[in-house]
Amino acid sequence: MSTTTTGYENLLASSSSSSTSSTTSTTTSSSSSELSNDDFLTLLVTEMQYQDPTDPMDTETILTQTSQLASIEAAENTADALDELSSSLQSTTTFNAVNAIGKMASLGSNYITYEGSDDITFEVYFPNEISDGTLTIADSDGNVVRTIDLGDTAAGESGVVSITWDGLDDDGNQVDAGYYSVGATYVDPEGTSDTTVLGVYPIESVYYEDGELSLKLGSNYYSIDDVVEIYEKSDS
């Protein structure tokens, strides 16, 4: 008497009637609930063995199932390869970022955003010690609205220097909210002139969290995506 099947039912029924030790072994070995190529071929052969001789599986069905297996396997292999590539790139990026410590980083802009009231504090990097000089703040049209005497406010300082602006222009008037550029020209104790702008700092450290890299520039951390250029610190 022939037995009719519509898929893997007979194989599953046969498996359920196996001995306890066989069931335990099978459960242990397939705890991942994933089928290998050999597993699939075993299922396919078993299905063909239990098929109804009067209504056998057609070739198209066999080819379709085989094709589906190949597609799934290819997708899994591609996913695994992409995961490995991602991990490799992440490690390389982290390594390169660590190697950047001590180099200079540019944020690509020397503008601050002034809200139109209260004081605003920002940081400017001075490679050499300040003896005298001027820090200028200009509006978005390039018009200088405020000059700050560095000889009075920052003499003797070097490195990342914190500057506070009260939001007033040189005439004592409150400026409007907007974007303002910051730059400085100064001389060191030996009389050597130098210039600097806001937005360029030495990289002090690297911080990594949740797959995101940040660089410490001055007293703040910036995403590495905010950095437009990293270069060697000049000898000056």
> Which pLDDT value is given to residue 93?
60
| Sign of the torsion formed by the C-alpha atoms of 64, 69, 70 and 76 | positive
Residue 5, pLDDT > 70, answer no
Rounded to the nearest integer, the mean pLDDT of the chain is: 79
Give the H or E element holding residue 221.
strand 220-223
Residue 175, pLDDT > 60, answer yes
Q: Classify domain 104-231 by CATH number.
A: 2.60.40.4070
> Which pLDDT value is given to residue 98?
78
- The lowest-confidence range among 24-28, 59-63, 112-116 is 24-28
Strand partners, 108: none
> Which pLDDT value is given to residue 92?
61
From residue 3, alpha-carbon distances to 15, 54, 150 in Å are 16, 10, 96
> Which pLDDT value is given to residue 3?
42
CA-to-CA distance for 73 and 224, rounded, in angstroms?
Answer: 36
> Which pLDDT value is given to residue 156?
95
Residue 167, pLDDT > 90, answer yes
Close Cβ partners of 168 (under 8 Å, ≥ 6 residues apart)? 146, 174, 175
What's the helix, strand, coil split of the chain in %, to 5? 35, 30, 35
Check if the beta carbon of residue 128 is closer than 8 Å to that of residue 158: yes
Check if the beta carbon of residue 134 is closer than 8 Å to that of residue 184: yes
Q: Could you tell me the pLDDT band of residue 62, with boundaries at 50, 70 and 90? A: low
Alpha helices, H only, 102-218 = 150-153
For the chain, the domains span 9-98, 104-231
Which is more confidently placed, 11 or 160? Answer: 160
